[in-house]
Amino acid sequence: MTSARATRVSALMRKEAAELRAAPGLLLTPLLMLLTAVALPFGIIVGVPAWSGEALGSADDLVDLARELTPAVPALAQLPADAAVQAFVVQQFLPLLVLVPVIGAMTLVTTSVVGEKQARSLEPLLATPITTAELLGAKTGTALLVSLALLAAGFATLLGAAAALTAPGVAGTLLTARSLALVAGLAPATAAVTLVLGVIVSSRAGDARSAQQFGAVVALPVVGLFVGQLDGTLLLSTGGLLAVSALLWLLVALLAWVAVRVFDRERILTRWK
């Protein structure tokens, strides 16, 4: 990237960040998803024993389920029964964190593109020397950084809560290769796919809500991963998660090429003039 191009992209990213600071309500939905992803597992870990008066490790069926996760998370084999069940619960809800950047990405990028079209502020921007690739790259880049910041905050909160509220060793299972492949590999790749799809839809959609509804298409596979983990039918290994992440990044490159070409820059400029 040349210095002139880098200057244009960074200036537009600063503009996007300033607009986000002026409308913090856009982060409400992903923040609620973040709180849900963190609260649910600890609601079970803390609430169920308090309600039943028995430790989670006293239920043999739960212990057996936890041990079945050992091939995917070998660290479970070293934990006593109660800690193993706690770690199992945390691992089962970990895919919910993947939805945080997905929802954040779709909300931010669709609002940015469609909002500027409705406010008629996109047309003057297109009249500048900035290219379509630079414009879309700045918008998706800003949304991706914010979404990944939400993901990092959620994971740090989950890790801190595990260290404070669970048995020794449970928090360590969140730092295993599989957990990190899910959070640092699959989640960013899924968010990037969401962003590029959001740009493609937003370039044709007339309102942000219609474009955001398309985000359900991307969220469905993540929900499927979550459900598959709950019933034990889908337990991707570390290698499997990394392979899926790599395929998703290839899909991002393909969709980015499509996004630049379907963005009808000439029609928008003609309408403005």
pLDDT digits (tens, 9 = 90+) for 148-187: 999 999 999 999 999 988 888 888 888 888 888 888 888 8
**For residue 188, pLDDT beyond 50:** yes
Tokens of 166: 């669970």
pLDDT digits (tens, 9 = 90+) for 36-74: 888 988 888 888 888 877 777 777 777 787 777 777 777
pLDDT value for 202: 74
**Distance set, CA 118 to CA 54, 109, 233, 268, 272 (Å):** 57, 14, 45, 11, 12
pLDDT value for 81: 84
Q: Tell me what percent of the residues of the chain surpass a pLDDT of 90.
A: 5
Angle between helix 187-202 and helix 238-262 axes, rounded to 10 deg: 20
pTM, two decimal places:
0.82
Mean pLDDT across the stretch 20-39?
82
Higher pLDDT, 121 or 24: 24
Closest CA to 263 of 207, 193, 198: 198
pLDDT value for 103: 80
Q: Name the least confident of 31-35, 188-192, 214-218.
A: 214-218
**For residue 233, pLDDT beyond 60:** no
What is d(CA 47, CA 165) in angstroms, rounded to the nearest whole number?
11
Closest CA to 30 of 156, 155, 147, 143: 147
pLDDT band at 192 (very low <50, low <70, confident <90, very high): confident
Higher pLDDT, 200 or 267: 200
The number of residues making up the chain comes to 273
Closest CA to 89 of 43, 130, 51: 43
User: Which residues neighbour 122 within 8 Å (Cβ) at sequence distance 6 or greater?
Assistant: 113, 116, 268
pLDDT value for 200: 80
**Average model confidence (pLDDT) across the chain:** 78
Full domain range(s) for residue 168: 3-272
Mean pLDDT across the stretch 113-139?
72
Higher pLDDT, 244 or 227: 244
Give the 3-state DSSP-derived string for the chain, with helices as H, strands as E and coil as C: CCHHHHHHHHHHHHHHHHHHHHCHHHHHHHHHHHHHHHHHHHHHHHHHHHHHCCCHHHCHHHHHHHHHCCCCCHHHHHCCHHHHHHHHHHHHHCCHHHHHHHHHHHHHHHHHHHHHHHHCCHHHHHCCCCCHHHHHHHHHHHHHHHHHHHHHHHHHHHHHHHHHHCCCCCHHHHHCHHHHHHHHHHHHHHHHHHHHHHHHHHCCCCCHHHHHHCHHHHHHHHHHHHHHHHHCCCCCCHHHHHHHHHHHHHHHHHHHHHHHHHCCHHHHHHHHC
pLDDT value for 24: 74
Q: How many domains does the chain have?
A: 1
The CB-side HSE value for 107 (13 A sphere, CA atoms) comes to 21
pLDDT band at 227 (very low <50, low <70, confident <90, very high): low
pLDDT digits (tens, 9 = 90+) for 10-21: 877 887 778 777
pLDDT value for 273: 44
